């Protein structure tokens, strides 16, 4: 398919003319603080994607734990632990250079999502980190976000994607395994089959 530059939108005026005015509710639902209704969604979410930007570029990272792992500590403050990972530190590096973050919360079976835009800092305060212990393991740090705006997103995207529809689930066996992908990408000898076979037990011991 060829693309014509004649049809590119390159200004806000052209964008707004093409799409028309925003739906009124899409504006009135945005708050500068976490209301009781919005808090209920955040505390029920076991999964959040956090987007950030920095000198290294853009990043969007998944975070998950039992529901309530993202804590609302004031109407304008949330906290989430930085659990054990691969130490790429993409999100944390970005926050050090640029505190702006955006978060998208998902709740299994629920069509609406919750969105937060704010400013983040990284705290290694021992007392704070100790409040997020999981399976006896203390996170290395806690991400503290000051909320600039918060609002819910309607169900359309999740309805179109059928994300929570059991009949839409993809058979994992139809996609490459993590070991297969790592083996294909590695410049050094890498046993993808052995990696996949060992992963379930390795995850038990390294998940926190």
Q: pLDDT tens digit string along 88-128?
A: 999 999 999 999 999 999 999 999 999 999 999 999 999 99
CATH of domain 24-161: 2.30.110.10
Residue ranges covered by each domain of the chain: 24-161, 170-206
| Distance set, CA 12 to CA 16, 21, 27, 117 (Å) | 6, 12, 17, 21
At 99 the pLDDT is 98
At 3 the pLDDT is 75
Q: What is the pLDDT of residues 133-157, one digit of tens each?
A: 999 999 999 999 999 999 999 999 9
What's the whole-number mean pLDDT along residues 164-193? Answer: 97
At 29 the pLDDT is 96
CA atoms within 13 A on the CB side of 197: 4
130 contact partners, CB below 8 Å, separation of at least 6: 138
Q: What is the pLDDT of residues 51-101, one digit of tens each?
A: 999 998 999 999 999 999 999 999 999 999 999 999 999 999 999 999 999
For residue 48, what are the β-bridge partners?
Answer: 63, 105
At 59 the pLDDT is 97
- Distance, in Å, from the CA atom of 133 to the CA atom of 65, rounded to the nearest integer, reads 11
C-alpha triplet 199, 200, 203: angle, nearest 5°: 80
């Amino acid at each position: 398919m060829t693309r014509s530059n004649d049809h590119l939108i390159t200004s806000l005026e052209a964008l707004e003319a093409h799409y028309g005015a925003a739906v009124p509710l899409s504006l009135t639902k945005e708050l500068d603080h976490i209301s009781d209704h919005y808090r209920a969604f955040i505390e029920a979410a076991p999964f959040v994607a956090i987007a950030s930007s920095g000198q290294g570029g853009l990043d969007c990272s998944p975070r998950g734990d039992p529901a309530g792992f993202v804590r609302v500590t004031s109407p304008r403050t949330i906290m989430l632990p930085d659990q054990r990972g691969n130490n790429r530190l993409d999100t944390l590096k970005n926050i050090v250079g640029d505190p702006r973050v955006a978060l998208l919360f998902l709740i299994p079976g629920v069509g609406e999502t919750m969105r937060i835009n704010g400013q983040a800092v990284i705290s290694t305060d021992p007392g704070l980190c100790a409040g997020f212990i999981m399976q006896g393991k203390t996170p290395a740090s806690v991400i503290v976000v000051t909320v600039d705006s918060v609002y819910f997103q309607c169900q359309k995207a999740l309805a179109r994607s059928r994300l929570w529809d059991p009949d839409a689930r993809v058979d994992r066996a139809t996609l490459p395994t993590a070991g297969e992908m790592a083996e294909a990408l590695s410049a050094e000898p890498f046993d993808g089959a052995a990696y996949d076979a060992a992963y379930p037990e390795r995850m038990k011991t390294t998940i926190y």
